[in-house]
Copies of this chain bind each other. A is one copy, B any other.
Amino acid sequence: MTADASPAAELIEELVIANKILFRENVVDAFGHISVRHDKDRNKYLMARHLPPGMVTADDIVTFDLDSNALTHQGMAYYSERYIHGEVYKARQDVVSVVHCHARPLIPFGTAKGAKLRPMYHMSGFLAEGVPVFEIREAGGMTDMLIRTPELGKALAACLCDKAVVLMRGHGATMVGNSIRQAVFRAVYSTENASLQMSAHSLAENGEVEFLTAEEGRKADQWGRSTDRAWSLWRHQVTNL
């Protein structure tokens, strides 16, 4: 890789901070990961080597091609599910960042029969376009649930389709965004929405809840300023520990 092709130091720093934020906000624990598309080459992406997100530093950021082969940090361990990232970048030219997590409030929405994650409020308007649930049995039969191959990654990306979030039955969720900040924002607020929605169903007569309509959701998803406002707080929290 030539010097020109190296990712900007600012992008790597943003990715490191994103790792710490996702950990602090309980979106990830020792598991889960976030990647960003390479700023100099759309056919590469950046992601930490096999480490808990809360322990990632700039030195741990590996460059991968879209087949999820490591181009740096040779011989080190990588996340076995890196195919989630590579295959989503192939399928979605609009996507710049991908989060994969096992956030506690989201798991039940991928596992409880008949449950459907829907937008409770303006912070999660991006859910209004629909949240598909990926059933790995359809793509891989009886597995260990992990996206360990390019084929499973492709199947997940196909299920995600043009949406912001895909739930994975018996496993977790994957979110995408047009920037690290948007992907993190969506990860945090789809998790928050899941908490809110569980309470709402248990509170409502007959479980009926008034969600945002498609139009309300679409409009509420258009204010970019809020992503930066949240980021400024989260960044402050993880860099001032």
Interface residues, chain A, CB within 8 Å of chain B?
29-31, 50-52, 54-55, 77, 80, 102, 104-105, 107-109, 111-115, 119-123, 125, 142-146, 169-172, 192, 195-196, 198-206, 208-213, 215-216, 219-220, 222-223, 225-226, 229-230, 232-234, 236
Contacts and interface: CB of A to CB of B under 8 A. Distances in A.
Q: How many copies does the complex hold?
A: 4
| Interchain residue pairs A-B with the least CB separation, the first 4 | A112-B204, A114-B205, A122-B145, A144-B219
30 contacts: A30-B229, A30-B230, A30-B234, A31-B229, A31-B230, A50-B229, A55-B236, A80-B225, A104-B196, A108-B204, A111-B121, A112-B201, A112-B205, A113-B205, A113-B208, A114-B205, A114-B208, A115-B203, A121-B145, A122-B171, A125-B145, A142-B216, A143-B219, A144-B216, A144-B223, A169-B210, A170-B212, A198-B199, A201-B202, A201-B203
Contacts of A222: 144
A31 B107 contact: no
A216 B170 contact: yes
Given A30-B230, A226-B31, A210 B111 contact: yes
A41 B80 CA distance: 37
Nearest to A133: B210
A211 B114 contact: no
A192 B26 CA distance: 13
A144 B213 CA distance: 10
A196 B121 contact: no
